[in-house]
Amino acid sequence: MTGRADIEAPPVDDDSKTPEEKPTTPERVESVKDRADELRHIGTLDRRLKSRHVQFLALSGALGTGLFVGSGQVLSLAGPLAAFLTYAITGFNLYCVINSLGEMAAWLPIPGAAPIFAARYVDPALGFTLGWNYWYQFAIGVPIEVTVTVVVMDFWDHSVPKVALITIFFAAMVIVNCFPVRIYGEAEFFFGAIKLTTIVALILLMFIITLGGSPSGDRIGFRYWKDPGPLNEYLEPGALGRFLAFWKVFIQATFAYGGSEMVVVASGETENPRRNIPKAIRRVFWRISIFYVLAIFLVGLCVSSQDPKLLNAITSNAPGAAQSPFVIAISNAGISTLPAIINGVVLSSAWSAGNSFFYASTRVLYAAALDGTAPAFLKWERWGVPYACVGATTALSCLVYLNVNNRSAEVFFWISNISAVSTLIVWASVCYTYLRFYYALEYNGISRDTLPYKSPMQPFLAYFAICFCLFIALFNGFDCFFPGRFSAKSFIPPYINIPIFLALFFGYKWAKKTKFVKISEADIWSGKAEIDSLEPTWPVVKPRNWLERVWFWIA
């Protein structure tokens, strides 16, 4: 069967004629309706995000508390080798997901793309479910990160009430997201640059410390891999206990990587998306993976998994970044001036990650409104900002005020577990959606070599991600079934998202009587002609000298 790449867009209505002169035939009415339906997912947001904004936006979403704070829980529970392997394997899973999503988004760069693709290629019920789950996943990240900023502030002696700190940090996120997207992009570029500089500096510092270059002069090497050992036990002794510890921490690693796909969420507001999205996908993944995996490996050399400060950080609600293994390594090395500086960076990182989650949640919800799976009033926007969606995300994010009457660390780990499971379910759905897109291209005779971005090793990456994500999501709460451990706190966070997802999917399917989309009916075309017509107008910036070439490689 021949491809449809040369199909022309539906005829544009001739607005030069007066209403009396325009024909009113049924064919014309139908044409206008089809045209409006085809373009409804394009939206009216401004494409003001440059390549550097998009790349640092993804870094800001991923380089946050999962690395600087949450990695301490992984190290103390599972040991250094398990922590290293967990982040490496989960990083490969992210590679599968972000490449699958990126190929679809480069083909059709629209706001909050994933739910729209699911509705077109799989089932409108999956689009509805994925849209609301994506919104919830990102929106729930806002109170998580605000929670951590409050915890981090405790590093310094202050008398500011907790409720005041929550309000200050939370209100700042809301205000930034009320400005046009260019302002948001510049803010995230600034904070992303701080994170990038800090993580590179921390990797170098951990390397120096383990070689004995710290003031203490202690050459650590692989000492802590020998005693207490590379793998810890969990619930059971011996090999089984070490395997259970290794399995348990996959959920925290998933939480740490969550948000990396924001580069695709922003595709509807990106300049020249068919150039900048593939560029960001190729670079952001490797940067995030290398930073995460290398940083976890080195800090696992510098800090014992049995370090009292690391072990007691969660249960004792240790102040500030004292919960971070990086700060513990610096303190143990006898470096007295850096902990406060690192704490300030962790503070800015947490706030920046929350700000990115806030942005992403509003765009996913806006896309759902364009698709008709969210209330129509959520499409309301001014100056390229979907203010109705900002209001909805603000309302859900008020969960952060749970901190007022609860320990912040406990709230952080409870909500982060829920967020991670939601991430796994969403990633599996995205990869299944990609498989439908892959086979729809094949059915229409379109060679993937002609795509704006062709992800490697497909469809095998998508199949791997589906199996991996579902397996972790189904079995991550295994420990709650051990004798004496079952409770609402141990059972609800690992599993509450599964019935929510199923209820949304089958509820919408029953209410709207939706049908599974056949490969032959998958709509891979609507809106593409409009994007194709805009593509020649997008500027391609070329470096004029070697300094600009270096800068363009970085950003």
φ, ψ for residue 352 (rounded to 5)?
-65, -40
Query: Which residues have a Cβ under 8 Å from the Cβ of 237 and sit 6 or more positions away?
Result: none
Question: According to the model, what pLDDT value does residue 407 have?
Answer: 57
Question: According to the model, what pLDDT value does residue 35 have?
Answer: 47
Question: According to the model, what pLDDT value does residue 470 have?
Answer: 93
Query: Which residues have a Cβ under 8 Å from the Cβ of 82 and sit 6 or more positions away?
Result: 74, 230, 231, 232, 242, 245, 246, 249
Going along the chain from its start, the domains and CATH numbers come out as 54-521 (1.20.1740.10)
pTM value is 0.79
Question: According to the model, what pLDDT value does residue 450 have?
Answer: 87
Residues of the chain with pLDDT under 70: 1-65, 111-112, 181-182, 184, 259, 262-272, 284-285, 287-288, 310-323, 383-384, 402-417, 534-555
Q: Which amino acid is at 282?
A: R
Question: According to the model, what pLDDT value does residue 11 have?
Answer: 44
Question: According to the model, what pLDDT value does residue 403 have?
Answer: 59
Question: According to the model, what pLDDT value does residue 171 have?
Answer: 87
Rg (CA), the chain: 24
Question: According to the model, what pLDDT value does residue 217 have?
Answer: 78
State whether residue 326 is helix, strand or coil.
helix
Question: According to the model, what pLDDT value does residue 535 have?
Answer: 62
Phi-psi region of 383 (alpha: psi -120 to 50; beta: other; left: phi over 0): left
What's the pLDDT tens digit per position in 509-537? 998 888 888 988 888 887 777 777 766 66
Question: According to the model, what pLDDT value does residue 416 have?
Answer: 65
Question: According to the model, what pLDDT value does residue 404 have?
Answer: 59
φ, ψ for residue 477 (rounded to 5)?
-100, 25
HEC secondary structure over 486-544: CCHHHHHHHHCHHHHHHHHHHHHHHHHCCCCCCHHHCCCCCCHHHHHHHHHHCCCCCCC
Query: Which residues have a Cβ under 8 Å from the Cβ of 94 and sit 6 or more positions away?
Result: 257, 260, 285, 288, 289
What's the pLDDT tens digit per position in 437-452? 999 999 988 888 888 8
